[in-house]
Amino acid sequence: MDLIVKNGRVVWPDVTLEVDLAIDDGKIAGIGHAGAFPKADRFIDAAGKFVVPGGVDPHTHIHAPFMGATAKDDFDTGTMAAAIGGTTTVIDFAFQQKGKLPMDAIEARRKEADGKVVIDYALHSNLVAASDEAIAQIPRIIADGIPSFKFFMVYRKEELMIDDGNLIPLIEVINNNGGLAGCHTENVAIIEHLQAEAIRKGNRSPIYHALTRPPLNEAEALNRALFISKYLGAAFYDYHLSVKEGVDLVREARREGRPVYCETTTHYLTLTEDMLKRPDGLNFICSPPLRSREHIEALWQGLADGTISAVASDQAAFTLEHKRMGKDSFDKVPNGLPGMEFRVPILFSEGVQKGRISINRMAAVTSTNVAKIFGLYPKKGAIQVGSDADLVIIDPKAEKKITIDDCPYKIDWSPFDGMKLQGSPVMTISKGKVVAENGKFVGKAGAGEFVKAKISEEILKRPAA
Ligand code: URP
Ligand code: ZN
């Protein structure tokens, strides 16, 4: 054996057991007692710590261009940060560019990431134009290992929006070919109407970003997307859910037995719209916007009761300089927040340690469910013999205050700055190799690979994660 992790409390979505794990050739080779395993080259003592499946982040925008800025991270520094924070696989986006086809975006993204990523990655295809040629590429994209898609129901001015007329054939063809369609659900007409009114009245400060995107605007678009997918008999994934009305809609759809899934993000679970009223409020602009405390509580409830399947970072590493592009008007600020390195630590500290979710539920929503929904399971998201040995060791006693000092992608601010963490990942193992230890990256650039995904029939036919 290459490695034995012993004495830890090993966590699965349904149980926690004190067992040892043997790892060989990058895979989990045994689960039981170290004495019964063949001799190993290295032992890691995880006494007093949790051993959880390596995090799978379902939503990152590494080094992505958006609203006139390009995110500061890169596929090496970004995935280093993810690894430090207990994530061993990221699912990023291949963003179709104007005048080009979705497969061009996939090729370009693969070129950007391959040889640089330090942990494994997969991709979603993000179509922004539904030409016949683009739609014709969908079966091939799915067959090539990219079965999940994202469409923006907003960002009309930015020319990224897919309207309902185009959404229908897109979801239909994705569903007919074993893929999973999903949307960024906001109602463009409400937003444009409220933005025009705010700007006419000279209301351009950051809080107007939230005031022009009220909760019902998100709920309406989600409801519409749910009805469209119901009409088509298709599975559906809601990206970055932020409102309590949306939790209710998803809960109801899943109660009906429909294959509906949704994620929320670390920031919607912890930060309120009051951040937008601070002097540095423009930094906190993301879409959907940060919400009030009652939405935060509903999201935690949805996470605990099984309505919300996953927690994403929605990593978008815009710097203070990028954010200042909108210093005179909220609608010019590049939308998005950095912080994929804090997704697992915050879920553990704010969720498990505060009694909002169990450690088992944390393993499900940060890893296992994501791998299942997006067709990476059981290679990823599983502690099973034969699965990739992607593991995170969490010390529940490690106290930490969030700072940006050690961030590999050298961002100059964090929305979570100053947050106190009770418990943190102290070691991350990717494919059997230690890649991060005590907040430092110790792995190798280029050690990660693209992972082809294939979504199971079970996920596409009923709420199975
Ligand atoms: O504000 C956000 N979420 N920015 C990233 C792009 C997107 O909408 O996912
Ligand atoms: Zn989005």
Backbone phi and psi for residue 279, each to the nearest 5 degrees, phi listed first: -55, -30
Nearest residue CA, atom 5 of ligand 1? 336
Position 139, amino acid = P
Tens digits of residue pLDDT in 211-246: 999 999 999 999 999 999 999 999 999 999 999 999
* CA–centroid distance, residue 285 to ligand 1 (Å): 10
Q: State which ligand 1 atom lies nearest to the alpha carbon of 184.
A: 8
Q: Does residue 286 have its Cβ closer than 6 Å to ligand 1?
A: yes
Q: Does residue 307 have its Cβ closer than 6 Å to ligand 1?
A: no
Nearest residue CA, atom 9 of ligand 1? 314
Nearest residue CA, atom 8 of ligand 1? 287
Report how far apart, in Å, the C-alpha atoms of 370 and of each of 242, 308, 311, 373, 432 are: 18, 11, 8, 5, 21
Task: State the average pLDDT over residues 418-447.
Answer: 97
Task: State the average pLDDT over residues 388-399.
Answer: 98
127: its two tokens: 């179509």
151: its two tokens: 């469409």
406 has pLDDT over 90: no
Residue 74: what pLDDT?
A: 97
* CA–centroid distance, residue 232 to ligand 2 (Å): 23
Q: What is the DSSP string of 111-176?
A: HHHTTT-SSEEEEEEE-S---HHHHHHHHHHHHTT--EEEEESS-TTTT-B--HHHHHHHHHHHHH
Q: Does residue 336 have its Cβ closer than 6 Å to ligand 1?
A: yes
Tell me which residue of 273, 293, 320, 314 sits closest to 414, measured CA to CA: 320
Cα–Cα distance measured from residue 12 to residue 29, given in angstroms and rounded to the nearest whole number: 17
Q: Which of 57, 61, 183 to mutate to test the pocket of ligand 1 (most atoms within 8 A of CB)?
A: 61
3-state secondary structure at position 414: coil
Residue 139: what pLDDT?
A: 98
Instruction: Please check whether residue 383 is in contact with residue 391, taking contact to mean a CB–CB distance below 8 angstroms.
Output: yes
Residue 317: what pLDDT?
A: 98
Torsion of the alpha carbons at 89, 155, 177 and 222, rounded to the nearest 10? 90
What's the predicted TM-score (pTM) here? 0.98
Q: What is the DSSP string of 62-94?
A: TT-EETTEE-S--HHHHHHHHHHTTEEEEEEEE
Tens digits of residue pLDDT in 295-322: 999 999 999 999 999 999 999 999 999 9
DSSP β-ladder status, 3-6 and 42-45: parallel
Task: For residue 204, name the pLDDT band (cuts at 50, 70, 90).
Answer: very high
Position 348, amino acid = F
Q: State which ligand 1 atom lies nearest to the alpha carbon of 286.
A: 1
* CA–centroid distance, residue 454 to ligand 2 (Å): 23
Class of residue 200 by CB neighbours under 10 A (exposed 0-12, middle 13-18, buried 19+): exposed
